[in-house]
Amino acid sequence: MDISIVVAASEDNAIGEGNALLWKLPNDMKFFKNTTWGMPVIMGRKTFESMASNPLKGRTNIVVSRQENWIEAHEGLLLAKSVEHAIELAKDSDCKEVFVIGGGEIYKQVLGIAHRIYLTRVHTLFPNADTFFPSIDHDSFQLVEEVAMTTDVKHAFSYTFQTWERKN
Ligand SMILES: NC(=O)c1ccc[n+]([C@@H]2O[C@H](COP(=O)([O-])OP(=O)(O)OC[C@H]3O[C@@H](n4cnc5c(N)ncnc54)[C@H](OP(=O)(O)O)[C@@H]3O)[C@@H](O)[C@H]2O)c1
């Protein structure tokens, strides 16, 4: 099973502020939905709560938390007590790829074992951001695909869809 990260990050790797996203980019949301649809997704407890605690439809939602009783109030989720446990739960679904969808704490723990990164690079800076994606080590990952997107009436920033694969 491949472990893939999906993330949207600014030029300086900012991904969030005040437990919310930094931008609205409808095309990126569509990309996220199309990429992860039908597959298991792993997220930290704070990212889950940032989505108004609504599980993503059409995907097995696996939420990582150290709080043992937290799951009781959230039906329809799988609770993992560690990142490793979350990956084991994803493997149980016999999928070929699991998607790690944030946030900052979880990305940091997964980057070293991820096979692939779907990175939407948002071409701007957010000085007040409080959550960041770790730097991609170019000795470990290579850029295999890149599609540049321009601003338009629904997209205030230009952005680039990138796919990074772990080098053998
Ligand atoms: N731009 C993007 O692509 C993107 C994507 C996702 C999220 N975000 C943003 O990222 C921010 C949230 O990220 P964050 O770093 O604050 O939080 P997070 O990674 O979503 O969640 C952190 C929580 O996960 C649990 N956790 C972390 N490591 C664990 C481990 N090893 N074992 C068990 N539980 C563990 C803990 O939950 P407990 O405290 O319950 O134990 C911890 O408080 C928000 O601003 C969100 O909007 C951005």
Sequence spans of domains, the chain:
2-166
Residues 87-106 have pLDDT tens digits of 999 999 899 999 999 999 99
- Looking at residue 3, its amino acid is I
| pLDDT tens sequence across 113-139 | 999 999 999 999 999 999 999 999 999
Expressed in angstroms and rounded, the spacing between residue 124 Cα and the centre of ligand 1 is 23
Is there a contact between 102 and 85 (Cβ–Cβ < 8 Å)? no
At 144 the pLDDT is 98
Phi and psi at 10, nearest 5°, equal -75, 180
User: In terms of pTM, does the model score above 0.85?
Assistant: yes
Instruction: Say yes or no to pLDDT of 5 above 80.
Output: yes
130: Cβ contacts below 8 Å, ≥ 6 apart: 16, 17, 18
Element (H, E) at 98: strand 97-100
Q: Would you list the DSSP string of 1-14?
A: -EEEEEEEEETT-E
- Cis amide linkage into residue 103, ω under 30° from 0: yes
Q: Which atom of ligand 1 is nearest to the CA of 70?
A: 40
In this prediction, residue 18 carries a pLDDT of 97
CA–CA gap between residue 140 and residue 123 (Å, rounded): 23
What is the mean predicted confidence (pLDDT) over 29-57? 95
| CB 14, CB 126: distance < 8 Å | yes
pLDDT value of position 70 = 75
> What percentage of the chain reaches a pLDDT higher than 90?
90
Residue 19 Cβ contacting ligand 1 at under 6 Å: yes
**20-33: b (≥16 Cβ within 10 Å) or e:** ebbbebeebeebbe
Condensed to tens digits (0 to 9), the pLDDT of residues 44-72 reads: 999 999 998 889 999 999 999 999 877 66
Question: Domain spanning 2-166 has what CATH number?
Answer: 3.40.430.10
CA of 153 to the centre of ligand 1 (A): 31
Residue 162 in tokens: 């990138």
Q: Is the CB of 4 under 6 A from ligand 1?
A: no
